[in-house]
């Protein structure tokens, strides 16, 4: 039986009537950008996250850019970010003319190693972007301590982690900003691109709202040079239909992760097959279930799964400090990131994944390692 990485139809079709009703409402209203639908979505999500200010934007990438623009990041500034993350985290820094300073990650959580961040901080450092990779919070106590002691801003990259918690507090509401994505693969998957910026300080929130519309306030009077980072009304209306289900998606992902843990650890392949774990103080949302396959066997396992019709993905095959576009930056080693890029393999974990399909995945992985033994 084929196992996909994601089954969006299984998730979205059950809301077909409500989604169509939302579409008709927007069609009839002719208010396609921002407006009441966006404001009402922002309010609902702010209360579900326990955030002070939520600003709907055009993508997770734009949420990051907007956060950095709001604090005035530009040429001459440095921003710390992990080397093992999606490109967007660092691309946003470079696009503003600042320099991403790549920090290594921890092998057990895949998240930023704050000791390495401390070693790489300089008088030019203006901000840090901890990424809550694969749906699990970075060590936010350590991040906030570093930020407070050096007077720098914290922009949490929560693209993969909406609903995750650190010490029972929602990620994205701990630092100065939280940037979320509604890309269809995310915990709250939209119907195209979309994102959200959560802001703690009211003045920064006001500035971010202004920057979202080309820095104009009132219209056609430009206080700052901003951009077009607006969220569509249709996207907000469709996402509003799914918002109440976010908790159940996360619970389903958590129960799928638990099942994988019980089944895969019972196989007894020890260090040949390393399972991801939920760290202390974290409520993992399992946006990804990412294995580590050492000894250069990751690609062989991936090929074996492909032959068995089981989808998998490598997030990410190359670290950011190794990307061609960043070769002009000073050499700052991140050996753990490089190691993980060669070992990581994400297997299907989406909420609608059935036990039967998970058994297929487990069976194929077991088959691969048994064949190696023989
Ligand atoms: C860690 C991380 N940051 C930022 C983004 C950017 O989000 P978007 O695709 O909505 O621009 C993503 C999306 O994949 C991501 O995974």
**Residue-level pLDDT at 309:** 98
**Residue-level pLDDT at 374:** 72
Q: How many degrees, rounded to 5, is the angle at CA 363 between CA 358 and CA 365?
A: 95
165-166 β-sheet, strand order? 169-170, 165-166, 282-283
Q: How far is the CA of 183 from the centre of ligand 1 (A)?
A: 7
Q: How far is the CA of 363 from the centre of ligand 1 (A)?
A: 31
- Closest residue (by CA) to atom 8 of ligand 1? 60
Q: How many degrees, rounded to 5, is the angle at CA 160 between CA 128 and CA 300?
A: 110
Q: Do you find a cis peptide bond into 218, omega within 30 degrees of 0?
A: yes
Ligand 1 atom with the shortest distance to the CA of 85 = 1
Which domains does the chain show, CATH number per domain? 8-243 (3.40.640.10), 246-373 (3.90.1150.10)
Ligand 1 atom with the shortest distance to the CA of 160 = 16
Ligand 1 atom with the shortest distance to the CA of 183 = 10
3 neighbors 310 (Cβ within 8 angstroms): yes
Tell me if the pTM is above 0.95.
yes
* Sequence-separated (6 or more) residues with CB below 8 Å from residue 160: 131, 132, 133, 134, 135, 181, 186, 187, 285, 287, 288
In terms of DSSP bridges, do strands 78-82 and 282-283 run parallel, antiparallel, or are they unpaired? unpaired
> Interhelix angle for 233-243 vs 16-29, to 10°?
150
- 126-172 pLDDT, tens per residue? 999 999 999 999 999 999 999 999 999 999 999 999 999 999 999 99
Q: How far is the CA of 160 from the centre of ligand 1 (A)?
A: 7
Mean of the per-residue pLDDT values for the chain? 97
**Residue-level pLDDT at 372:** 83
Q: How far is the CA of 371 from the centre of ligand 1 (A)?
A: 37
SS3 letters across 100-125: EEEECECCCCCCECHHHHHHHCCCCE
Task: List, chain by chain if needed, residues with CB within 6 Å of any ligand 1 atom.
Answer: 59-61, 85-86, 88-89, 131, 157, 159-160, 181, 183, 193, 195
pLDDT along the chain (374 residues), means of 10: 96 97 96 96 97 97 98 98 98 98 98 98 98 98 98 98 98 98 98 98 98 96 97 98 97 98 94 96 98 96 98 98 97 97 98 98 96 80
Distance between CA 138 and CA 167 in Å, rounded?
A: 11
- Closest residue (by CA) to atom 10 of ligand 1? 60
């Amino acid at each position: 039986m084929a196992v996909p990485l994601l089954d969006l139809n299984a998730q979205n079709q059950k809301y077909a009537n409500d989604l169509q009703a939302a579409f008709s409402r927007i069609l009839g209203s002719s208010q396609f950008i921002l407006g009441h639908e966006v404001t009402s979505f922002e309010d609902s999500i702010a209360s579900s996250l326990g955030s002070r200010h939520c600003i709907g934007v055009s993508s997770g990438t734009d949420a990051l850019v907007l956060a950095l623009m709001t604090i005035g990041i530009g040429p001459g500034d440095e921003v710390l970010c992990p080397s093992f993350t999606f490109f967007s985290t660092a691309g946003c820094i470079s696009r503003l003319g600042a320099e991403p300073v790549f920090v290594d990650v921890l092998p057990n959580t895949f998240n930023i190693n704050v000791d390495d961040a401390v070693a790489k901080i300089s008088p030019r450092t203006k901000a840090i972007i901890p990424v809550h990779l694969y749906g699990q919070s970075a060590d936010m106590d350590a991040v906030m301590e570093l930020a407070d002691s050096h007077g720098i801003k914290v922009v949490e990259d929560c693209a993969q982690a909406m609903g995750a918690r650190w010490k029972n507090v929602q990620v994205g509401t701990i630092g100065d900003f939280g940037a979320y994505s509604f890309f269809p693969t995310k915990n709250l998957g939209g119907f195209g691109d979309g994102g959200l910026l959560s802001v703690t300080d009211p003045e920064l929130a006001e500035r971010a709202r202004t920057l979202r519309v080309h820095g104009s306030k009132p219209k056609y009077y430009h206080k700052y040079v901003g951009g077009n980072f607006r969220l569509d009304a249709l996207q907000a209306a469709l996402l509003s239909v799914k918002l109440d289900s976010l908790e159940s998606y996360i619970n389903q992902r958590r129960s799928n992760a638990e099942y994988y843990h019980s089944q895969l650890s019972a196989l007894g392949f020890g260090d040949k097959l390393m399972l991801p774990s939920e760290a202390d103080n974290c409520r993992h949302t399992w946006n990804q279930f990412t294995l580590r396959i050492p000894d250069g066997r990751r690609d062989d396992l991936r090929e074996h799964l492909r032959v068995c019709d089981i989808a998998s993905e490598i997030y990410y095959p190359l670290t950011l400090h190794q990307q061609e576009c960043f070769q002009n930056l000073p050499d700052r080693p991140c050996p753990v990131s490089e190691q993980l890029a060669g070992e990581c393999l994400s297997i299907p974990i989406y909420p609608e994944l059935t036990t039967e399909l998970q058994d297929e995945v487990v069976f194929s992985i077991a088959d691969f390692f048994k064949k190696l033994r023989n």
